Chains A and B, each alone.
Chain A
Amino acid sequence: MSEITPILMPKWGLSMREGKLAAWHVDEGATIAAGDEIMDVETDKIANVVEAADAGLLRRRVGVEGEMYPVRALLGVMAPESVSDAEIDAYVAAYETPSAGGDEDEAGPAYQFADLPAGRIRYAERPGEGVPLLLIHGFGGDLDNWLFNIDALAEGASVYALDLPGHGQSVKSARPAGLDLMVDTVLAFLDHIGADKAHLAGHSMGGLVAGAVAVKAPERVASVTLICSAGLGEEINAGYIDGFVAATGRKDLKPVLLHLFKDQGLVSRSMVEDLLKFKRLDGVQEFLTELAGNLFRDGRQARQIAQALAASGVPTQVIWGEADAIIPPAHAGALSGAKVSVIPNAGHMVQMEQAAEVNRLIRDFIA
């Protein structure tokens, strides 16, 4: 039986209980390599393609396209030719889906909190070996922006994702709301987790933060991956920034969020609702207003890092969504010495829209 490898319904974030198997991309009898795109899964929040966690021969497609399955339900079975059909039948019959929302192990790791000088910071941790990787979200985002990345990346290293001050479930009262606060918080967080050195990957404003951390403390940063990053040019979509800050309801927020994706169908009712839940928290409106004023006033980026980061000697790579409507993909070439990848069929949220490709680029770069 140990030769049998199950393919399970993934769990994207703490709140996911079930998902729809929208489509299979592999047939029975196909040889699958780890990282191959094997199926599409949809939840009430988002749809995405699932990469194979393990390599193997697909012997059985248990999940039916179009059906809903609980998290960790058995969707497929991989096994070498030497395993008989009867053994696979027995495995499928004996498989029991762990109950969702049960004890912590089954529900997936819970969020953690760190009390830093800036205040309370929420983070997620996936333990592993070696130099850790820290994921830093962008303006108005939170650690769940790495929903499709954190588990896949954890196969190669220990991975952390945090909520920056003013974001997610982290402290809202820290001031002044600007780049220095973010940089100091990231450094304090590295201290908190006992990391002398870390790989940093930042998305959008989080890229600016990651780059600024590397400039300020190059000895603490093993590498920097900048994804659709701020800080590499002047232009930024002012309509998005101002619209996001000003929106108070579904009707004004949804059109703004459409700018984030190439496939605008990904902006679901539930995604809009989750962001409204964040924006309604006391202190968020004030924080974002101040932060946008300091970093992105009138559609111009106030802080630039390309030159100083190139001079820091820290290895860098730049990843961009070709259809990014927030920060122009042309900025991808601004950082000299960086490895640059521009990914087609993706907008600003390239780490969600083309998660498999972004995960591969990050894994290869930090390996």
Chain B
Amino acid sequence: MARIISMKDAVNEALDQEMTRDPTVIMMGEDIVGGAGAQGEDDAWGGVLGVSKGLYAKHPNQMIDTPLSESAYVGAAVGAATAGLRPVAELMFVDFIGVCLDQVFNQAAKFRYMFGGKAQTPVVIRAMCGAGFRAAAQHSQMLTPLFTHLPGLKVVCPSNAYDCKGLLIQSIRDNDPVIFLEHKNLYASTCDVPEEPYAIPFGEANIVREGSDATIVTYGQMVGRSVEAAEMLKKEGIEVEVIDLRTLSPIDMDTVLESVEATGRLICVDEASPRCSIAADISANVAQDAFDALKAPIQMVTPPHAPVPFSPSLEDLYVPSAERIAAAVRKTMEN
């Protein structure tokens, strides 16, 4: 491979290829078309950050700009999914899930179970997540644990452009409702991405970096920072394994347990709020299933239990840094 593209372009390419492959794949959301068709290209935003730019020209019958009503169009997407389409609804910021949560957790997530497996709801809800974008408390949350708490939903949060394309294609082809969270700070990150379509199966964590002394388990934006921390620690003679969960429901606990059994040390890094978080969930599972393997208490690295600050200096302190991650690893090495 040798084609380097950004995560934003990877999302665009996945949507483009899936809408081309399957005419039942449709997109709906606020400003995803963004006035294309009106005078002037400047008007065609393709979503708030231009992720779907250019797609309307290729797939005019598969994209709908909706009114500013999440409760209406997310509900419509769920309904369309039960009726045979494969809608991809864009929620702009995941922080807006509150106004349409019933459609997601009490409807989409329950249909397969309540109709005895006879109903399928192949809907994808894409949304931007995460802090570090100077977007304040109402546009910067992770909210990943909110979704993993609910049986019947699949939850995906990629850390790089390659995974993003393959996981989004898998999300669209999957027959269950998928919450697909794109960290807005990663849109500009680049890596090798094959032009051909490909799907990455759910529930398979990626071992980003191998190491024998400690295991960092993380996802999303924190993967890059954990690798950065691991590079710092390498200079101190500490070899850290970094596991990118890729999908939070289903979750690949096998890979986590196997690694912790080898290293004996676990550091969970999560950008979500600390209480009932992904970090807390992994920690509890490892404490239950691999306690004997642990050489030191498990460490969790998360933001404080507070809204995301708008002040840039405070926001930078809020999001876990490579230094904080490295400090937590060093703490496990004291034992």
Residues of A within 8 A of B (CB): 14-15, 110-111, 169, 172, 248-251, 269, 273, 277, 280-282
Report Cα–Cα, A269/B204, bound state, in Å: 14
B interface: dominant SS: loop
Given A15-B2, A249-B201, A280-B166: A172 touches B210 (CB 8 Å cut-off): no
Given A15-B1, A15-B2, A110-B2: A282 touches B207 (CB 8 Å cut-off): no
Given A15-B1, A280-B166: A172 touches B196 (CB 8 Å cut-off): yes
Which residues in A have their C-beta under 8 angstroms from that of B254? 251
Would A111 and B198 count as touching, CB distance under 8 A? no
Which residues in A have their C-beta under 8 angstroms from that of B206? 273
Please give the distance in Å from B15's CB to the nearest CB on chain A.
Answer: 15
Give the residues from 199 to 214 in chain B that come closer than 8 angstroms, CB to CB, to chain A: 199-201, 204, 206-207, 210
Would A277 and B194 count as touching, CB distance under 8 A? yes
For A272, the closest partner residue in chain B by CB is B207
Which residues in B have their C-beta under 8 angstroms from that of A250? 204, 207
Report Cα–Cα, A281/B192, bound state, in Å: 14
Would B207 and A169 count as touching, CB distance under 8 A? no
Q: How large is the interface on B (under 10, 10 to 19, 20 to 34, 35 or more residues)?
A: 10 to 19
Q: Is B307 an interface residue (CB 8 A)?
A: no
The answer, among B2, B162, B196, B207, for a CB contact under 8 Å with A281, is: B196
The answer, among B166, B196, B199, B210, for a CB contact under 8 Å with A169, is: B196
B156-175 contact mask (Cβ, 8 Å, vs A): 1 or 0: 00000010001000000000
Report Cα–Cα, A193/B166, bound state, in Å: 34
Which residues in B have their C-beta under 8 angstroms from that of A172? 196
Give the residues from 244 to 261 in chain B that come closer than 8 angstroms, CB to CB, to chain A: 254-255
Given A248-B201, A251-B254, A269-B210: A277 touches B1 (CB 8 Å cut-off): yes
Please give the distance in Å from B229's CB to the nearest CB on chain A.
Answer: 18
Give the residues from 149 to 198 in chain B that come closer than 8 angstroms, CB to CB, to chain A: 162, 166, 192, 194, 196-198
Which residues in A have their C-beta under 8 angstroms from that of B199? 280, 282
Report Cα–Cα, A273/B199, bound state, in Å: 14
Would B200 and A280 count as touching, CB distance under 8 A? yes
The answer, among B2, B196, B204, B210, for a CB contact under 8 Å with A14, is: B2
The answer, among A273, A277, A281, for a CB contact under 8 Å with B197, is: A281
Report Cα–Cα, A14/B2, bound state, in Å: 7
Report Cα–Cα, A358/B56, bound state, in Å: 54
Would A111 and B2 count as touching, CB distance under 8 A? yes
For A107, the closest partner residue in chain B by CB is B2
Would A281 and B1 count as touching, CB distance under 8 A? no
Report Cα–Cα, A14/B4, bound state, in Å: 12
Report Cα–Cα, A282/B173, bound state, in Å: 12
Report Cα–Cα, A90/B30, bound state, in Å: 64
For A282, the closest partner residue in chain B by CB is B197
Which residues in A have their C-beta under 8 angstroms from that of B197? 281-282
Would A280 and B198 count as touching, CB distance under 8 A? yes
Would A281 and B198 count as touching, CB distance under 8 A? yes
Which residues in A have their C-beta under 8 angstroms from that of B204? 249-250
| 11 A-B residue pairings within 8 Å (CB atoms) | A14-B1, A15-B2, A111-B2, A172-B196, A249-B201, A249-B204, A277-B162, A277-B198, A280-B166, A280-B201, A281-B198
Give the residues from 239 to 285 in chain B that come closer than 8 angstroms, CB to CB, to chain A: 254-255
For B197, the closest partner residue in chain A by CB is A282
Please give the distance in Å from A286's CB to the nearest CB on chain B.
Answer: 13
Report Cα–Cα, A281/B193, bound state, in Å: 11
Report Cα–Cα, A169/B1, bound state, in Å: 8
Which residues in A have their C-beta under 8 angstroms from that of B194? 169, 277, 281
The answer, among A14, A248, A273, A282, for a CB contact under 8 Å with B198, is: A282
Known: A14-B1, A277-B194, A281-B196. 5 other contacts (CB 8 A): A111-B2, A251-B254, A251-B255, A277-B162, A282-B197
Which residues in A have their C-beta under 8 angstroms from that of B207? 250, 269
B1-31 contact mask (Cβ, 8 Å, vs A): 1 or 0: 1100000000000000000000000000000
For B2, the closest partner residue in chain A by CB is A14
Report Cα–Cα, A277/B197, bound state, in Å: 11
Report Cα–Cα, A15/B2, bound state, in Å: 7
For A14, the closest partner residue in chain B by CB is B2
Please give the distance in Å from B221's CB to the nearest CB on chain A.
Answer: 21
Which residues in B have their C-beta under 8 angstroms from that of A14? 1-2
Give the residues from 275 to 328 in chain B that come closer than 8 angstroms, CB to CB, to chain A: none
Please give the distance in Å from A167's CB to the nearest CB on chain B.
Answer: 12
For B200, the closest partner residue in chain A by CB is A280
Report Cα–Cα, A111/B192, bound state, in Å: 14
For B258, the closest partner residue in chain A by CB is A251
Would A15 and B166 count as touching, CB distance under 8 A? no
Which residues in B have their C-beta under 8 angstroms from that of A111? 2
